[in-house]
Structures are given as structure tokens and as C-alpha cells.
């Protein structure tokens, strides 16, 4: 495994923003900054809090708003030297179009940049919770353009038209996703019926000709924003090392400590700032095993 080394990186992150709590860019930006990444955040909404509370205040931004900000960054020369464009929840197809436009413009100035997309659609319990036009946008237009996607197992199945359940069928679904477009896939929650233990969470990373699986203890909490942190850290670590195993182990270690601290706090929102040491100096308490 490569020795971890920090290097100067720049990421354009187009996601939501909340003032209270941590989701979207309000979850992703600080951990990236803490590991030395220069982040250029563009907000798709500016809400008081995440919508899981059932009530919130604040404006949504249009695709044209996003384009204007990208143009302003471009005019300053800020689209040169970008390592990745990162996106998460997309509330409408106009935002999706603006993100894809931003990816095109970044790659004109930074040909080696990747597009890392967290294809937020839903989960196996509640199904899809985004509008049909967003489902179609992500499946038919966004995923084919992405270089890296970070779906959960349900989202992976939706994108590929498959039903991943076992490790083998999940790997087959990942192969199908890679045929569609992205070269790298991180499956953020692998549920397998052959595993009797309900206290384990697994993540699967496929990159190049390698596939790596890592497991961490399942903690009794639902933490909004943890997926945003996971996608951000994995993207940065993969770009820095080029190695899926290193990126997976560092990400899993950091996010588990973040969730442990959140659970211990008794608070609903991620203890993002309190866990900052875990981003820069993860405990590395989990080891991935190669499954391909």
C-alpha cells in the first residue's frame, strides 16, 4: 500500500447548504479543508436546516444561479488546476444540467479532473424519494458522465436495473454501472443476506481491476450528512493516492469515528467539528480485504 502523502488539491463542490447542522456542502467542505484540500463550494440551496426536520426556511437557487457562479470562478482562472467536481443531492433537473455544464467547463481547463457524483435517490426502506424527473436525470444523463459514483446498494440497483443482494450480485451490478460510464464505484452500504450479523456495515470500492470490501460496526443512529462526508473524503483520498484500498480504509476510519462521536454526544446532528482530528489523522482501525 502507498504511504499516505498530502498534496495540494482543489475541488469544486456543488451541493446544498444548511446553517443549522451538517448536510451537503455543510458536511463535506470542512473535512476536506481539514485534510488540506482547497474547496470551492457552490450552493444549490441555502436552508436553515435539512428537510428531515419537516420544516425549513431559506431559498433554493436555480441552474442559472449556479452557472453564474461557475462563470465568475472561471473569469478568475479558478477552473484551472481542479482535481474533482463533486455533487450530491440534486433537487431538480435544472440544477443537474448546470452541474453537467460545470463539469464540461472544468474539464476544458483541467483535463485530468474527475466528476464524482453521489447519486442521491433513496434507500431500500423508503424507496426513491426524489421526483421522477430527477430519477431520470441521474440514471440517464448524470451517471454516464461521472467518473466516480458513490451509491448505496438500492441506488446502485436503480441505476443499473438490477437487484444486488449478495456480494457477487453487487459486484455484477457495479460492473454494469461501469459499463454505463463511471470507472470507479463506491457502494456505501452493502447488505448481504448471507451475513447473519446485523451489527456490521460494509462498503465496497471497485477501481481498475480491483475490488475491496471493508466492514465497520453498525451504530444505532441515523446520521444525516454522513454520506456526504463519505463521498467527499473518498473522492479526495482516491485522487491523492490513486489507490482504492487506501481511500476506502481512510474514509471508513474517519467516518466511523465521526459517527461514534455523534452517538456519544446524544445529539441529532453530526459532531463534525469535534471530530476533526479523525479526518487528518484517522485511527486506521479497519482493514479492507480484496474480493476481486
On whether residue 1 sits in a domain, the answer given is no
Residue 2 pLDDT more than 50?
A: no
Q: What is the DSSP letter of 130?
A: S
Average pLDDT over residues 76-94: 94
On whether residue 199 sits in a domain, the answer given is yes
Count Cβ atoms within 10 A of the Cβ of residue 218 and give its class: 0-12 exposed, 13-18 middle, 19 or more buried.
middle
Q: Is 211 helix (H, G, I), strand (E, B) or coil?
A: strand
Contact 197, 217 (CB under 8 A): no
**Mean pLDDT, the chain, integer:** 94
Q: Give the pLDDT confidence score for residue 3 in this predicted structure.
A: 45
Residue 240 pLDDT more than 60?
A: yes
Q: What is the DSSP letter of 23?
A: -
Tens digit of each residue's pLDDT (9 = 90 or more) over 161-177: 999 999 999 999 999 99
Please state the domain count of the chain.
1
On whether residue 4 sits in a domain, the answer given is no
Tens digit of each residue's pLDDT (9 = 90 or more) over 4-62: 556 789 999 999 999 999 999 999 999 999 999 999 999 999 999 999 999 999 999 99
| Predicted model pTM | 0.96
Q: Give the pLDDT confidence score for residue 199 in this predicted structure.
A: 77
On whether residue 181 sits in a domain, the answer given is yes
Q: Give the pLDDT confidence score for residue 279 in this predicted structure.
A: 98
pLDDT band at 287 (very low <50, low <70, confident <90, very high): very high
Buried residues in 115-138 as b, exposed as e (16+ CB within 10 A):
bbbbbbbeeeeeeeebeeebbebb
Average pLDDT over residues 182-201: 83
Give me the CATH number covering residue 284: 3.40.1190.20
Q: Is 77 helix (H, G, I), strand (E, B) or coil?
A: coil
Question: How many CB atoms lie under 10 A from the CB of residue 162?
Answer: 17
Tens digit of each residue's pLDDT (9 = 90 or more) over 105-116: 999 999 999 999
The stretches of the chain forming alpha helices (DSSP H) are: 25-34, 63-75, 93-109, 132-137, 153-160, 167-180, 226-241, 244-265, 277-280
On whether residue 121 sits in a domain, the answer given is yes
Q: Give the pLDDT confidence score for residue 136 in this predicted structure.
A: 92
On whether residue 3 sits in a domain, the answer given is no
Nearest 5°: the CA angle 273, 275, 276 is 70
Q: Give the pLDDT confidence score for residue 8 in this predicted structure.
A: 85
Q: What helix, strand, coil percent values describe the chain, rounded to 5? A: 40, 20, 40
On whether residue 84 sits in a domain, the answer given is yes
On whether residue 101 sits in a domain, the answer given is yes
Tens digit of each residue's pLDDT (9 = 90 or more) over 126-166: 788 888 898 999 999 999 999 999 999 999 999 999 999 99
Which residue range(s) make up the domain with 18? 9-290
Contact 109, 76 (CB under 8 A): no
* CA–CA separation, 52 and 122 (whole Å): 13
Amino acid at each position: 500500500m502507498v504511504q499516505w502523502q498530502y498534496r495540494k488539491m482543489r475541488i469544486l463542490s456543488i451541493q446544498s447548504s444548511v446553517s443549522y447542522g451538517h448536510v451537503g456542502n455543510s458536511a463535506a467542505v470542512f473535512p476536506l479543508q481539514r485534510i488540506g484540500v482547497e474547496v470551492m463550494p457552490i450552493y444549490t440551496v441555502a436552508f436553515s436546516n435539512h428537510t428531515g426536520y419537516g420544516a425549513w426556511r431559506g431559498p433554493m437557487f436555480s441552474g442559472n444561479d449556479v452557472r453564474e457562479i461557475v462563470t465568475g470562478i472561471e473569469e478568475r482562472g479558478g477552473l484551472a488546476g481542479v482535481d474533482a467536481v463533486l455533487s450530491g443531492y440534486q433537487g431538480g433537473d435544472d440544477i443537474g444540467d448546470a452541474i453537467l455544464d460545470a463539469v464540461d467547463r472544468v474539464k476544458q481547463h483541467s483535463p485530468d479532473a474527475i466528476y464524482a457524483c453521489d447519486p442521491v435517490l433513496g434507500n431500500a426502506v423508503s424507496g426513491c424519494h426524489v421526483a421522477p424527473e430527477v430519477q431520470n436525470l441521474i440514471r440517464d444523463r448524470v451517471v454516464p458522465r461521472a467518473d466516480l459514483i458513490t451509491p448505496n446498494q438500492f441506488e446502485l440497483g436503480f441505476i443499473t436495473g438490477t437487484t444486488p443482494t449478495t456480494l457477487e450480485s453487487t459486484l455484477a451490478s457495479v460492473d454494469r454501472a461501469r459499463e454505463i460510464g463511471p470507472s470507479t464505484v463506491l457502494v456505501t452500504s452493502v447488505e448481504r443476506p448471507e451475513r447473519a450479523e446485523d451489527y456490521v456495515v460494509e462498503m465496497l470500492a471497485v477501481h481498475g481491476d480491483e475490488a475491496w470490501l471493508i466492514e465497520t460496526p453498525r451504530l444505532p443512529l441515523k446520521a444525516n450528512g454522513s454520506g456526504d462526508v463519505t463521498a467527499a473524503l473518498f473522492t479526495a483520498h482516491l485522487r491523492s493516492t490513486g489507490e482504492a484500498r487506501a481511500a476506502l480504509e481512510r474514509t471508513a476510519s474517519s467516518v466511523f469515528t465521526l459517527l461514534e462521536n455523534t452517538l456519544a454526544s446524544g445529539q441529532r446532528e453530526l459532531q463534525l467539528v469535534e471530530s476533526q482530528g479523525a479526518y487528518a489523522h484517522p485511527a486506521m482501525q479497519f482493514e479492507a480485504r480484496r474480493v476481486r
